[in-house]
Amino acid sequence: MNRKFLLAGTLFAIITTFAHTTWALSAANLYKQVGTDPSWQQIKAGGQLVLGHNSNKGVRGSKIIVNLKLLHRLEAAPGATNPIVRDIAIHTVGNSAIPRPDFARWSRWYQEDGNVQIFRLFKGETNVRNKRPMAARIEAYYKKAWKAGPWHEWTGEYTIIKPGGACIFQVFNNKRV
């Protein structure tokens, strides 16, 4: 299954298709931001995130509206319009196991628009849910464990806006495989 991820930012984007064609585009062409995002200082002072524990309140952020028509035209790989897998949870700086019904409460870090997943992490943010402040991240993960035996295939398409030093993909073994 092919997946698209949009990492939101403000300056520019590098778009790569499976054909290895690359374009430099203005982020303004790829998405529109509606509203504002609270600063990290406001979030920490506001009590929305509990230090040392998973928080349940969440933090809402600006709404990201993806230019799906342009994105789908640029990323014309097979499966580029596949739907997002439904049985996922997300991990943010404030909670490591957020179920789908609660995603909207965490829109500062994760959103979906059509079949595009939007992951955002802002400069200066740290992990607050445990004693590992440098482990700040936003990720989506499949909730079911894979069964031993069959091969499992995953493919993805990434649109990276305002890139920085980070890992955009990781694989874990559920110790049953």
CA distance 49 to 41: 12
User: Per-residue confidence at 169, pLDDT binned at 50, 70, 90?
Assistant: low
Domain membership of residue 174 (yes or no) is: no
Domain count, the chain: 1
Domain membership of residue 150 (yes or no) is: no
- Over residues 37-94, the pLDDT tens digits come to 999 999 999 988 988 889 999 999 999 999 988 877 776 666 667 888 899 999 999 9
Q: Does the pLDDT of residue 97 top 70, yes or no? A: yes
- The per-residue pLDDT of the chain, averaged, comes to 78
CA atoms within 13 A on the CB side of 120: 22
Return the higher-pLDDT residue of 166 and 42.
42
Tokens 């030093």 belong to 165
Domain membership of residue 136 (yes or no) is: yes
In DSSP notation, 77-134 reads STTTTPPPPSSEEEE-SS-S-EEGGGGGGGTTTEEEETTEEEE---TT----SSS-GG
Domain membership of residue 28 (yes or no) is: yes
Phi, then psi, of 72 in degrees rounded to 5: -65, -30
Q: How much is the pTM?
A: 0.77
Domain membership of residue 170 (yes or no) is: no
Domain membership of residue 90 (yes or no) is: yes
Residue 161 confidence (pLDDT): 75
Domain membership of residue 173 (yes or no) is: no
Domain membership of residue 62 (yes or no) is: yes
**Three-state SS at 71:** helix
Task: Residue 85: give the domain boundaries.
Answer: 4-145+157-161
Phi, then psi, of 102 in degrees rounded to 5: -100, 5
Tokens 């230090």 belong to 51
